[in-house]
Structure 1
Amino acid sequence: MTAATLDTPPPAIAEEGRHIPGNKGIWVGITCEFVEFLVLFAVYFISRAHFPEAFHEGAKHLNTVAGTVITLLMISSSFCIARSVNSIRQSHHQAAVAWLVGGLIVALGYPVAKVLEIQWNLAHGIDGGSGIFYTVYYYLTFNHLVHASWGILGILWVLARLIFHGYSAEDHTGLEALASYWHATDIIWLVIFPLFYVLA
């Protein structure tokens, strides 16, 4: 996701004044993200079908608290970013900035929590070579962390533009594009969390 993707002109307004939030570029990116994770989820279910016991036993050794914290961070940051979009739509510039700063701070908690989780895993002998379950777990969660990191960089870019009045009630495509991408990344984590930490 690039700065150009965030700030390209919005798509045409649809019937009755409705429009797709963000722009075509960001939705191409979101579609690619979903396709990538659909492939990864297919790998998960194929592996689970072949090694059910490994997945059942592996889930017992993951840090459920860490997974829950990351879930709460993703949901909370999505809420803050959504409030920022709502604020700019109402021409409440300072509130939009404040909510986006809040979203950034909460979002930064995700990589911190993930690093702490990995340190906990390694201290308990859980690495990518510990079995098929952990190989799939690391591959999926690391890929999600990469996408979330791109989102955090996007937040920084949009926040800088927002602070200097780069968005207004009439034109806030970049902020909407960021929110769309972050919500998509949030949805993917809400699938990952139960697959590894709850249902396996």
Structure 2
Amino acid sequence: MSMPYAESIAVPEDHDFRSRGRVPGNNGIWVGIFCVLVEFLLLFIVYFVAKAHHPEAFESGPDKLVTLAGVTITMLLLTSGYCMVKAVESIRRDASVTAFRWIALAFLLGCGYPLVKYFEIRWNIAHGIDGETGIFYTVYYYLTLNHLVHVFWGLLGLGWVALRTSRGSYSSRDYSGLEAAAVYWHTTDVIWLVIFPFFYVLR
């Protein structure tokens, strides 16, 4: 007796089928991301208000900053974000060793940001550029250092998920913690992509 047609169809148990309609990460991380986005929205409003009242300062301000530092930070964060994409992709295939390597690389690249920022600030101060030099630089330091704080939080998250991945805590069936760290890390990337042209490019 032949098997009914409906029963003869094998349903693939791939990740895409199981995760269809699922929100990446977890609810907690999205609440945190919402708060971060609101915070920076307010800071960007401050930027535009200050620029409207002091257009000359914001037109000449970027000339004294080291554009190469901003470009380097941008490349580090984007490359690090790409590594986290590959890490999530790997854990979906249950390739935990590969995922760990991608997370470790993302962490190392991410650590390059505070290192570059440290030398950039040293160069700025050596050339008389600090928070009291003018309104442009006050806003610049406030926004970029605030962003750096969130990057530190992101690096702690990457370190934590790297440790858990090395212990086999994630699999293709349960990797929301890893995905949450990746989503937060991508958020810091997106915010920096707004900050970078505001201070290093636009006049």
Q: Is the TM value for this pair above 0.5? A: yes
One of 107, 122, 146 as aligned partner of 2:125: 122
**Alignment counterpart, residue 182 of structure 2, candidates 179, 183, 187:** 179
Distance in 2 separating the partners of 1:156 and 1:102: 11
Alignment counterpart, residue 35 of structure 2, candidates 32, 37, 55: 32
Is 1:43 the counterpart of 2:38? The answer is no
CA gap of 1:94–1:49, structure 2 versus 1, over 3 A, is same
Choose from 53, 58, 65 the match for 1:55.
Answer: 58
CA offset at residue 18 of structure 1?
A: 2.1
Structure 1 pair 105–16 and aligned structure 2 pair: CA distance change class (3 A)? closer
Specify the SS of the correspondent of 1:128.
coil
User: Which runs of 5 or more residues in structure 2 are unaligned?
Assistant: 1-17
For these two proteins, the number of residue pairs brought into alignment is: 186
For 1:196 and 1:133, locate their aligned partners in 2 and report how far apart those are by CA, in whole Å: 8
**Fraction of identical pairs, as percent:** 55
Partners of 2:35 and 2:95 lie apart in 1 by 33
Quick one: distance in 2 between partners of 1:25 and 1:18?
18
Alignment of 1:1-200 (within 5 A): 17-200=20-203
User: Could you list the per-position Cα deviations for residues 23-44 of structure 1 after superposition, in whole angstroms to 9, with x for gaps in the alignment?
Assistant: 0000000000000000000000
TM (norm. structure 1) is 0.91
Structure 1, unpaired ranges of 5+: 1-14
Task: Provide the aligned C-alpha RMSD in A.
Answer: 1.1
Once the two structures are superposed, what CA deviation does each residue of 1:23-75 show, in whole Å capped at 9, x if it has no partner? Answer: 00000000000000000000000000000000111111000000000000110
Could you tell me how far 1:137 is from its partner in structure 2? 0.1
Shift >3 Å, 4+ stretches: none
